[in-house]
């Protein structure tokens, strides 16, 4: 069976981070049925090799493709950097939307022309990121200061959004960026919007301690842009649902525990258990990469 207008959109991430993108998709495209896939048993992706991440992405995409999705949103900067090209080669007829750290919007917002980029180690070392940074540095003369936030994804996966350990980590990552003079911070990992209040807290503390100007520091997250791009591509492909044809469904799969994902939906998005169906996946057939 082929996908059609009524088919769901698949959204996936290494874990719960992609929920920060899913919330915008639900808001912008309220009539679409959605399948969310959290590969939490393999999170974080950010410290894994390109080959390992690509293998996971292919297995997840294959699983979602079997659910007849009409579009795939790779709601993970790390997975996009590692595997988007391979995914497009495997599924040339499927709408596939990836994401990358919002360096371009940040460069436009930064008055000081210094932008801090928070992302995973893999994303910051990827060819895709280095190319984007070199291009924008040449074009805008903005300086990009990078910070690999090792350990932060794990805290968010554990649901520790406000714990002392998470605050310490955020302080350790954000302070050097502020010290470098950055007035704009890119949240280059879809997990990080869930600790934006801690990031704001650290910015406040930094400015108060140094009696620094309390200028607004922008936080750049590309979740909305991804949802809008999905809307455009569905419309172009004649696949968007403008009105309710039948009540949209929300289904979620996890390679870890159902209760953790249920808690994440409730804690992060305020979506109650009654509004979604959750399944735990124990086995997925590996897709052998021939690229």
Which stretch, 42-50, 109-117, 141-149, 169-177, contacts ligand DGL (CB under 6 A)?
42-50
Residue 221 backbone phi and psi in degrees, to 5: -130, 135
Residue numbers 96-125 binding ligand DGL by CB under 6 A = 120, 123
CB of 236 to ligand DGL, least distance (A): 25
Q: Which of 57, 149, 189, 291 is catalytic?
A: 189
Distance CA 107, CA 113 (A): 7
Tokens of 161: 């959004």
22 near ligand DGL, judged by CB under 6 A: no
Q: Does 44 bind ligand DGL (CB under 6 A)?
A: yes
Nearer of residues 8 and 98 to ligand DGL, judged by Cβ = 98
- Of the two residues 76 and 241, which places its CB atom closer to ligand DGL in the complex? 76
Nearest distance, CB of residue 153 and ligand DGL, angstroms: 4
77 lines the binding site for ligand DGL (CB under 6 A): yes
Q: Clarify whether 189 is annotated catalytic.
A: yes
From 144, 285, 131, 141, select the one nearest 220 (Cα to Cα): 144
Whether residue 291 lies in the annotated active site: no
Exposure string (b/e) for 19-45, b if CB count within 10 Å is 16 or more?
bbbbbbbbeebeebbbbbbbbbebbbb
Q: Choose the binding region for ligand DGL from 73-81, 160-168, 225-233, 263-271 (rule: CB under 6 A).
A: 73-81
What stretch of H or E contains 229?
Answer: helix 223-236
45 binds ligand DGL (CB under 6 A): yes
What does residue 185 show for φ and ψ, rounded to 5 degrees? -120, 125
Q: Which stretch binds ligand DGL (CB under 6 A): 13-21, 175-183, 219-227, 261-269?
A: 13-21
Site membership for ligand DGL, residue 56 (CB under 6 A): no
Going across the sheet that includes 114-119, the strands are 143-148, 114-119, 184-187, 218-220
CB atoms within 10 A of CB 280: 16
Q: Quick check: 189 binds ligand DGL (CB under 6 A)?
A: yes
Catalytic annotation, residues: 76, 189
């Amino acid at each position: 069976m082929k996908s059609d207008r009524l088919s769901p959109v698949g959204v996936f991430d290494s874990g719960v981070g992609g929920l920060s993108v899913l919330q915008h998709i639900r808001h912008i495209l309220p009539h679409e049925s959605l399948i969310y896939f959290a590969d939490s048993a393999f999170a974080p992706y950010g410290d894994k090799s390109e080959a390992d991440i690509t293998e996971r992405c292919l297995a997840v995409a294959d699983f979602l493709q079997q659910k007849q999705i009409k579009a795939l949103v790779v709601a993970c900067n790390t997975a996009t950097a590692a595997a988007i090209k391979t995914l497009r080669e495997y599924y040339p007829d499927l709408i596939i939307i990836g994401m990358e750290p919002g360096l371009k919007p940040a460069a436009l917002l930064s008055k000081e022309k210094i932008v801090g980029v928070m992302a995973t180690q893999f994303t910051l070392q990827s060819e895709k990121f280095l190319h984007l940074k070199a291009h924008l540095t040449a074009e805008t003369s903005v300086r990009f200061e990078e910070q690999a936030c090792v350990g932060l994804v794990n805290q968010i996966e554990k649901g520790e959004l406000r714990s002392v350990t998470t605050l310490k980590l955020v302080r350790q990552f954000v302070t050097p960026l502020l010290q470098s003079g950055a007035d704009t911070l890119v949240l280059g990992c879809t997990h990080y919007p869930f600790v934006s209040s801690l990031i704001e807290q650290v910015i406040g503390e930094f400015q108060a301690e140094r009696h620094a100007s309390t200028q607004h520091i922008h936080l750049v997250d590309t979740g909305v842009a991804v949802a809008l791009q999905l809307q455009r591509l569905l419309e172009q492909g004649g696949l968007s649902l403008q009105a309710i044809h039948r009540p949209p469904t929300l289904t979620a799969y996890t390679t870890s525990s159902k209760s953790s994902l249920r808690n994440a939906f409730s804690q992060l998005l305020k979506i109650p258990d009654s509004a979604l169906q959750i399944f735990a996946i124990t086995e997925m057939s590996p897709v052998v990469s021939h690229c």
